[in-house]
Amino acid sequence: MPARPRLSRARRVADAADVADLRLLARRRAPRMVFDYVDGAAEGERSMARAVEAFDRVEFSPRVLRDVAAAPTAVEILGRRIAMPLVLGPTGFTRMMHREGERAVARAAERAGVPYTLSTMGTTTAAGVAAAAPGGWNWFQLYVVRDRARTLETLSLAREAGMDVLVVTVDVPVAGARLRDVRHGLTVPPALRWRSVLQAVRHPAWWFDFLTSEPLRFATVNGAPDDLAGITNLMFDPSVTVADLEWIRSAWLGRLLVKGVQRVDDAKELAAVGVDGVVVSNHGGRQLDRAPTPLELLPHVVAAVGDRTEVFLDGGVRSGADVAAAVALGARACFVGRAYLYGLMAGGELGVRRVLDLLHAELVRTLQLMGVGGVAELTSDMVRIRER
Ligand SMILES: Cc1cc2nc3c(=O)[nH]c(=O)nc-3n(C[C@H](O)[C@H](O)[C@H](O)COP(=O)(O)O)c2cc1C
> Given this model, what pLDDT does residue 225 score?
54
Helix (H, G, I), strand (E, B) or coil at 267: helix
> Given this model, what pLDDT does residue 130 score?
98
> Given this model, what pLDDT does residue 1 score?
52
Q: What is the pLDDT along the chain (388 residues), one digit of tens a residue?
A: 555 556 788 999 999 999 999 999 999 999 999 999 999 999 999 999 999 999 999 999 999 999 999 999 999 999 999 999 999 999 999 999 999 999 999 999 999 999 999 999 999 999 999 999 999 999 999 999 889 999 999 999 999 999 999 999 999 999 999 999 999 988 877 776 666 666 667 888 888 888 888 888 888 776 655 778 888 888 889 999 999 999 999 999 999 999 999 999 999 999 999 999 999 999 999 999 999 999 999 999 999 999 999 999 999 999 999 999 999 999 999 999 999 999 999 999 999 999 999 999 999 999 999 999 999 999 999 999 999 7
> Given this model, what pLDDT does residue 196 score?
63
Q: Please say if 283 is a catalytic residue.
A: yes
Q: How far is the CA of 167 from the centre of ligand 1 (A)?
A: 12
Catalytic residue among 98, 203, 283, 360: 283
Q: Please spell the DSSP secondary structure of 321-357, one letter per residue.
A: HHHHHHHHTT-S-EEESHHHHHHHHHHHHHHHHHHHH
Q: How far is the CA of 286 from the centre of ligand 1 (A)?
A: 8
Query: Which of 91, 94, 218 for mutating ligand 1's site (highest number of atoms within 8 Å of CB)?
Result: 91
Q: How far is the CA of 9 from the centre of ligand 1 (A)?
A: 26
- Residue 180 CA to residue 32 CA, distance in Å, equals 10
Which residues surround ligand 1 with Cβ inside 6 Å?
37-38, 51, 89-92, 119, 121, 141, 169, 259, 281, 283-284, 286, 314-317, 335-339, 341
Domains and CATH numbers, the chain: 9-382 (3.20.20.70)
Q: Rounded to 5 degrees, what are φ and ψ at 385?
A: -100, 110
Q: Please spell the DSSP secondary structure of 162-224, one letter per residue.
A: T--EEEEE-S-SS----HHHHHHT--SSPP--HHHHHHHHH-HHHHHHHHHSSPP--SSS-S-
> Given this model, what pLDDT does residue 233 score?
86
Beta carbons of 377 and 368 less than 8 angstroms apart: no
- Residue 105 CA to residue 309 CA, distance in Å, equals 28
Interior/surface letters 153-181, b for 16+ CB within 10 angstroms, e for the rest: ebbebbbebebbbbbbbbbbeebbbbbbb
Query: Which of 96, 286, 335, 345 for mutating ligand 1's site (highest number of atoms within 8 Å of CB)?
Result: 286
Q: What is the pLDDT of residues 110-165, one digit of tens each?
A: 999 999 999 999 999 999 999 999 999 999 999 998 899 999 999 999 999 999 99
Q: How far is the CA of 209 from the centre of ligand 1 (A)?
A: 23
**Nearest protein Cα to ligand 1, atom 3:** 91
Query: Which of 283, 298, 341 for mutating ligand 1's site (highest number of atoms within 8 Å of CB)?
Result: 283
Which among 282, 257, 245, 268 is positioned nearest to 332, based on CA atoms?
A: 257
Beta carbons of 310 and 342 less than 8 angstroms apart: no
